[in-house]
Chains A and B, each alone.
Chain A
Amino acid sequence: MMIFSAELKKGSTEMLILSLLEGRARHGYEIGKLIEQRSGGKLKFALPSLYPRLLHLESRGWIKGRWVEKPGERHRCYYRLTAEGRRVLAQQRRTWKAYIAAVNEVMGTGDA
């Protein structure tokens, strides 16, 4: 299995969280599990590293936590994207794609 370094993960966590919240509001445990599932277990964020990221994003005004009671579930904190968060996510996506493209370009040329 591929192991990604902490540095690499650190840089992308925020983007991952923002994109997971794009469609709907989610709670913390759910976010952690989704990252793990969608990456096929390659990306794993422990609670102690994920949770402060959420707080940080919230304190920058990109996401907003709210206590919600859903039928058949406990009262818990759901995070949703703010308008500002949406804008930041779009920007990050653009940057990321451009970066990946540039890296691929370089690496592709290097392989050939």
Chain B
Amino acid sequence: MRDWNAYVRAHLALPGFTPTRQARIVRELADQLEDFHREGIARGLTEAESDAFARRQIGDWDRLAQDVWLADRRHARPRLERAALRLEDAAPARSKGFMMLANLLHDARFAVRQYASTPGFTLVALLTLALGIGANTAIFSVVDGVLLRPLPYPEPERLVLVNEIVPQYGSFSVAPANFLDWRRQNTSFERIATFTSSSATLIEGDTPERVVNATVSWDLFDLLRVRPVLGRTFAAGEDAPMKNQVVILSHGMWQRRFGGDPGIVGRQLSLNGTPYEVIGVMPAGFTFPSRDVEYWVPIALDTAQPTRGGHYLAVIARLKEGVALQQARAEMKTIAERLAIEHPDTNRDESAEIIALHDAAVGRVRPALLTLLAAVGVVVLIACANMANLLLVRGSGRGREIAIRTALGAGRRRIALQMLAESVVLAVAGGALGLLLAYLAIPTIQTLGTDSVPRVQDVAIDGRVLAFTLVLCLVTGIVFGVVPAWQASRASVSDVMKEGGRSSTGSGGRWLRNALVTAEVALSLVLLVGASLLLRSFDRLTQVDPGFRAEGVLSFRVSLPPTAYPEDAHRQAFFGQLLERLRALPGVMASGMIQSLPIRGDYVLSFTVQGRPTQPGKDPSANYRVVSPGSFEALGIPVRLGRAFTDRDAAGGPLVAMVDEAFVRRHFPGEDPIGRGIDIGNGTDGFYEIVGVVGDVRYGGLDARANPTMYVPYEQDVFSTMWVVTRTAGNPRDLQGPVRGVVKDLDRGLPAYQMSALSDIVSNSLAERRFSMFLLGLFALVALFLSAVGLYGVISYSVSQRTQEIGLRLAIGAPRGHLLGMVIGQGMRLVVTGIIVGLAGAVALARSVSSLLFEVTPFDPPSYAATALVLVSVAALACYVPARRATRVDPIVALRCE
């Protein structure tokens, strides 16, 4: 005879029951099956027939397991819950909180079983939640790492930057004399220090390398309150000229170039051909003022005769304990205004401003990041609406189960809490998936943001981000669960006990589902409009004529150290040879030099026009570029009038200049500029004669206006660092090797650095916009996808509910095309309502992205129209699929269901 115990155990799954309880249920069922088997034998059946008779007694084991669970779940609870139940029996009032916890645990277990039994629903739900919560986690981690987390110095909130305010340009670098006066006169700061960034050629072994460094006043590290891991920081007086031959290394440079040599302190390094002694190494993770700085040297300020006219210092200060930013601001303003009166020649109308260091570091990207944060907030709202809808539909399919629970004595509150627990379980599971998505996405976001988002490399999923995600999961679960829970708890027992009864398909339920879908469509539209505005801005930007042709141009920098090239003549000789050799390379069409590349910012000087006297301090100013012959050709800047510079425009020859059309429009409107004189050196050099006019170039960036620009031949104003631009017929990247060879041939100790295709530089200048556009676009697509899923779900459900009606319509001869239109029309009514609401919302919100736009108004009609069109098309598709299914309903089958 069969071992009925084993038979039952093999068929009946009783997870969640205690082992003792499981054993009892199994044994009892086995006993009864054995009774049936004996009954068969007693009736004269064979052994095999009796066995089959007994086995037939239980057909649907899953159903039995479910019924056993429902009937006996008090015994299915873990020990803790049973204890809670006993407590409840003893003193219901006192153990309320405990009860709730115990119930919650039980509900969670029940929820997991429920979801496991409906994999399709669970998959859609998890995907929806993972997208919604994952996007939020990723963006929050960026916002947290970039905007929220304090700077990595002790008491960072007291650190500020101090700028000068110059009437012509606004916020400006600080002149050394002003800095020294500020340091003497202020009472708000504990310390005030200065720094500038530069780069130097480091020769260690064979290959010269260009490394970025910061030149700082001696007390900068004390101000930041950072101690070295090795050696010491600068001492007072080491920032005086001739005493500043000491260097502090970054941890990275110490590790990379010196293998973490513990005996590095005291070693000599050759920087720009000058020996420096290593006195210290900073700790890992310390970066200032930027991540790429590899070492620090003291600044050599001439304190005896400091300049007040040259502005090139950055100034940082630490507020005294208890001094508010406002107080410090007021004091610095007073000091600067006093200096303006004392030194009218240089400081007329100047002032000073204070910015919190954190704002200065990341303030620029705040609007973009906050916009993205708002966008993912909208995505998660859409996900919530979708989930609420899915649960509503599912809840109506669960009428029977809820009815049984109600019949078994579960109160409304209990049912509602159970539904909520289910949605929270789902949200937490979806959130875990979302966390994984975010973890995978962060490296991509970092790559995308490298050139545009400061501190983006510090972004990581840490405790704070995890806490955020957890809270978001709970809130999300409650938000999308509350409506279905309320619906379920309202169901009346008598309604649902009726065969085929449904608990939440009434007109209230339909109204809710429609409202949710409409809201989803509206929210998606807002996001899509935002994304398309950015997209159109970006498109406009890439269409902008920058005034030069970047394609086919290789650019790099060469910096001549003053030790090896002390005189102008040495530099001219080197640069002259370099250009000559470069032009001789195969494939090179033109080669020239310019002291600062287009796109990378203006370099502004004041000047006067010959024959036009101005008041002191009221001189006009313009962008200034020093160029070699061949540079206009290499950069593709057209000469509009007169001539370009030639080799005859050399040092000692007549001073000549070229200007651009914007300059002519501003300063010689309706006049012939050729032959006119401009004094660029403020009276020191004499007048430069304008010999030619070139086209406008956007030096300040693609999104900046082309400012009036003056050009001077490089031999007449020799810079030691120049950008070399070389135009080739082929791929400029192929030119890198030969170009490095040429530079090395001329001077083995000279690196050609920051070498890249000019088109990459132009492209990188759009990195920040690309970052926001790409992410916002991505989120808008996610939103669109989720809304389409939501719409599809609602229409599908409605079709399934109306099967009989549709069947009846078909039976009485309604054409199928008509039915298709009816179903699609039903969906499109929701979509159109959503679009109208969304358009209103978008108009209201568009202004908030206006700082990210370029030559596109926040109310750009094509963006709105295109977005609405896309949404309508996707929505139509989402409705079409279930509508088609409706037309395939077999009227006979549909009616038989009744």
List residues of chain A with CB under 8 Å of any chain B CB. Answer: 7, 27-29, 32, 46-49, 51-53, 55-56, 58-59, 65, 74, 76-77
Interface pair B32/A28, CB less than 8 Å apart? yes
Given A56-B71, A56-B408, also A47-B60 (CB < 8 A):
no
A51 touches B68 (CB 8 A): yes
Question: When chains A and B are docked, how far (Å) is the Cα of A28 from the Cα of B28?
Answer: 8
**Residues of chain B within 8 A of A48, CB atoms compared:** 57-60, 63-64, 67
Contact of A27 with B31 at beta-carbon distance under 8 Å, contacts A48-B58, A48-B63, A77-B24 already known: yes
Of all chain A residues, the one with the shortest Cβ separation from B72 is A55
Whether a CB of chain A sits under 8 angstroms from the CB of B113 is no
- Within the complex, what minimum Cβ distance (angstroms) separates B798 from chain A? 29
Tell me, in angstroms, the Cα distance from A77 to B31 when the chains sit together: 9
> Are A7 and B499 interface neighbours, CB within 8 A?
yes
In the bound complex, what is the Cα–Cα distance between A74 and B34 (angstroms)?
11
How does the 8 Å CB contact mask read for B60-102 relative to A, with 1 for contact and 0 for none?
1001100110111111000000000000000000000000000
Q: Which residues of A contact B60 (CB under 8 A)?
A: 48
Query: Which residues 10-67 of B sit at the A interface, judged by CB distance below 8 A?
Result: 24-25, 27-29, 31-36, 57-60, 63-64, 67
Give me the 6 closest cross-chain CB pairs, A-B, nearest first. Answer: A56-B71, A29-B35, A52-B67, A55-B72, A52-B71, A55-B71
* Contact pick for B32, options A51, A52, A59, CB 8 Å: A51
User: Contacts A48-B58, A48-B59 hold; do A74 and B68 have CB atoms under 8 A apart?
Assistant: no
Task: Compute how far the CA of A52 lies from the CA of B28 in the bound complex, rounded to whole angstroms.
Answer: 12
| Cβ distance A48 to chain B, nearest Cβ, rounded Å | 5
Question: Besides A48-B57, A77-B31, 5 other CB < 8 A contacts?
Answer: A27-B31, A29-B35, A47-B32, A55-B71, A55-B72
Chain A residues with CB under 8 Å of B36's CB are 29, 47
Q: Name the one of A32, A49, A56, A77 contacting B72, with C-beta atoms under 8 angstroms.
A: A56
- CA A47 to CA B39, docked complex, whole Å: 14
Given A7-B499, A59-B74, A59-B75, verify A51-B28 contact (CB < 8 Å).
Answer: yes
Residues of A within 8 A of B34 (CB): 74
**Residues of the B chain whose Cβ atoms lie less than 8 Å from the Cβ of A32:** 32
Provided the pairs A46-B57, A47-B58 are in contact, do residues A74 and B25 lie with their beta carbons within 8 angstroms?
Answer: no
Give the docked Cα–Cα distance between A27 and B71 (Å). Answer: 18
**A49: which B residues are within 8 A, CB to CB?**
67
Complex CA gap A55/B24 in Å reads 11
Q: Separation in Å of the A71 CB from the closest CB of chain B? A: 17
Q: How far is the CB of B1 from chain A (nearest CB, A)?
A: 13
Report A-chain residues with C-beta under 8 Å of the C-beta of B74: 59
Q: How far is the CA of A47 from the CA of B58 in the complex (A)?
A: 7
- Candidates B64, B67, B71, B499; contact of A59 at CB < 8 Å: B71
Which of B31, B64, B67, B408 interacts with A76 by CB under 8 Å?
B31
Partner among B31, B63, B497 whose Cβ is within 8 Å of the Cβ of A28: B31
- Output the nearest chain A residue to B61 by Cβ-Cβ distance: A48
Q: Which residue of B lies closest to A28 (CB)?
A: B32
Given A56-B71, A56-B408, A74 contacting B31 (CB threshold 8 A):
yes
* Contacting pair A29 B408 (CB below 8 A): no
Cα separation A72 to B737 with both chains bound (whole Å): 101
Smallest CB separation, B2 vs chain A (Å): 15
A26 to chain B, nearest CB (A): 12
> Separation in Å of the B77 CB from the closest CB of chain A?
11
Distance in Å from the Cβ of B73 to the closest Cβ of chain A? 8
- Cα(A27)–Cα(B33), bound, Å: 13
Question: Are A53 and B29 within 8 A (Cβ)?
Answer: no
For residue A4, give the distance in angstroms from its CB to the closest CB of chain B. 14
Interface pair A52/B68, CB less than 8 Å apart: yes
Could you name 26 residue pairs across A and B whose Cβ atoms are closer than 8 Å? Answer: A27-B31, A27-B32, A28-B28, A28-B31, A28-B32, A29-B31, A29-B32, A29-B36, A47-B32, A47-B33, A48-B59, A48-B67, A51-B28, A51-B68, A52-B64, A52-B67, A55-B25, A55-B68, A58-B72, A59-B71, A59-B73, A59-B74, A74-B31, A74-B34, A76-B31, A77-B31
CB-CB under 8 A from B28, the residues of chain A are: 28, 51, 65, 76-77
Neighbouring B residues of A59 by C-beta, 8 Å: 71-75
Chain B residues with CB below 8 A from A77, complex form: 24, 27-28, 31
